[in-house]
Amino acid sequence: MNFINSTPLKAGVLILLCLLSITILKAQSTKNTKPSAMKILVLFNTESGGTYKMAKAIAGGIERFPGATAVLKQVPRIKSLENEQKQAFGQIPYATISELPEYDGIAFGSAVHFGNMSADMRYFLDQSVGIWTAHKLEGMPATVFMSAGSGAGREAAILSFWSTLAVHGMVIIPTGIMGNQEIDKTIPQGNTVFGATSLAGATAVSRPSEGELHIAALQGYALAKAAKGNQLTKDITAVTGTASSVAPKTSKIEARLKALNLILPDAPAPVGNYKPFRISGKQVFINQIALNAGKVDHPGMVGTEVTEEQAKLATRQTLLNVLAVLKQAAGGDLDHVKQAVQLTGFFYTAAGYTKHAVLMNEASNLLVEILGENGMHTRATVGASSLPMNSSVEIQAIFELE
Ligand SMILES: Cc1cc2nc3c(=O)[nH]c(=O)nc-3n(C[C@H](O)[C@H](O)[C@H](O)COP(=O)(O)O)c2cc1C
């Protein structure tokens, strides 16, 4: 009898193979879909601390969800607050607009100001054009909480956030009637179906009331739960590949920078009352000098204190600064830059100097090397009798975003 061809043995081997494959697949799927930890931002603006108390309750609710960590941050102030350091929230750091896409979810909170969000919050969100056009917040869960006085216009105030979040394509988490049956209804409670709110102006009990804090905690938990769902969906699509068409692609420009062995510097911070870039329509306007880690590279007049070779190095550094700022303006991805439009190079030179174009070629060539055909631009070069911080060069640049 041929033992190998015997039917019972074949069946046995088949069953064993099936069991083995199931075990391997199970192990793989557990490994691949194991969700990672979540980091959720609680971003608030407060003057007298009411919103901060609500923010802490939201954060507490977030952290009740397994694996979720809440990060409390304030939005920067348009006008500084007297004695801020002495306030309970004085040590809470300010957020930057470019960090928003790093989180798994965001809870936004502010005081109700005339049925609206506060001016500080509005000003902060208005700086999110770059991350909006780069689709950075699309699909991210978000929720809104507030501190009001009497409560006048509090629902409209939450909705003022909602329209901005909708434009970003965020998934908005409302509170509905969650927890309503668990709170004391003999006192006024600020909560709305859109999000937790405190009635700081209402007396009887200290504010936020227990009930308001309770709803805020439930809201934080609901946000974390939605963020987990979003994270799991991302993990699953990463395993199955079913969402390959929408999976993040590698940036072409980053790859080119790597191939050219170039690392963009940190975008220099403004040294006055101005912004590093301004977007108008689809155009971005940027001005930079040869700053490098807070100091100017090769400062002084070209041809006397600075050689032309040194001025070329300073020009390269200036162009890299321009690109670092451009990357911020493009929401962190230079692939969103459609094209360069114009460069204007200013050089600190003596009267009668004529080789500005030779110096400026350094910037033009580098730009085209990095952005390819899209880096081609119109150009002007000018001699200057002095430049800020004694820089030998300044570049004004205009780009177009997609
Ligand atoms: C300019 C301004 C406008 C305000 N408008 C409203 C309002 O429309 N409705 C309301 O209920 N409270 C209003 N308030 C009161 C605040 O919302 C309230 O004091 C809130 O609790 C402050 O929050 P904070 O402690 O986080 O600063 C306003 C306060 C200010 C300063």
Is the pLDDT confidence value at 249 over 70?
no
CB-CB contact of 200 with 207 (8 Å): yes
Q: How far apart are CA 365 and CA 247, in angstroms?
A: 33
Q: Three-state SS for 234?
A: helix
Is the pLDDT confidence value at 139 over 80?
yes
Closest ligand 1 atom to the C-alpha of 112? 17
Is the pLDDT confidence value at 22 over 80?
no
Q: What number is the average pLDDT over the span 375-383?
A: 97
Model confidence band, residue 7 (pLDDT cutoffs 50, 70, 90): low
pLDDT of amino acid 232:
86
Q: Which fold has domain 255-401?
A: 60s Ribosomal Protein L30; Chain: A; (3.30.1330)
The least confident of 23-32, 194-203, 393-402 is: 23-32
pLDDT of amino acid 10:
61
| Token representation of residue 271 | 């040294």
Is the pLDDT confidence value at 391 over 80?
yes
> CATH classification of 38-246 is 3.40.50.360, yes or no?
yes
Among 121, 78, 77, 79, CA closest to 100:
121
Q: What number is the average pLDDT over the span 253-266?
A: 91
Model confidence band, residue 238 (pLDDT cutoffs 50, 70, 90): low
Q: What number is the average pLDDT over the span 95-103?
A: 94
**CB distance 200 to ligand 1 below 6 Å:** yes
**CB distance 94 to ligand 1 below 6 Å:** no
Half-sphere exposure for 246 (CA within 13 Å, toward CB): 10
Where do the domains of the chain lie? 38-246, 255-401
pLDDT of amino acid 310:
97
pLDDT of amino acid 204:
79
Is the pLDDT confidence value at 390 over 90?
yes
CB-CB contact of 353 with 303 (8 Å): yes
> Whose alpha carbon is nearest atom 23 of ligand 1?
111
**Dist. CA 110 → ligand 1 center (Å):** 9
Among 376, 289, 301, CA closest to 325:
289
Percent of the chain predicted with pLDDT > 70: 87
**CB distance 188 to ligand 1 below 6 Å:** no
Q: What is the pLDDT of residues 322-331, one digit of tens each?
A: 999 999 999 8
pLDDT of amino acid 269:
84
Q: What number is the average pLDDT over the span 83-100?
A: 94
Candidate of 81, 84, 114 to mutate for ligand 1, largest count of ligand atoms within 8 Å of Cβ: 114
**CB distance 118 to ligand 1 below 6 Å:** no
CB atoms within 10 A of CB 267: 21
Model confidence band, residue 234 (pLDDT cutoffs 50, 70, 90): confident
**Dist. CA 306 → ligand 1 center (Å):** 57
Is the pLDDT confidence value at 100 over 90?
yes
Model confidence band, residue 233 (pLDDT cutoffs 50, 70, 90): confident
CB-CB contact of 169 with 139 (8 Å): yes
The whole-chain average pLDDT of the chain stands at 90
Candidate of 58, 112, 121, 197 to mutate for ligand 1, largest count of ligand atoms within 8 Å of Cβ: 112
Q: How far apart are CA 208 and CA 55, in angstroms?
A: 11
> Whose alpha carbon is nearest atom 1 of ligand 1?
113
Q: Tell me which amino acid residue 281 is.
A: G
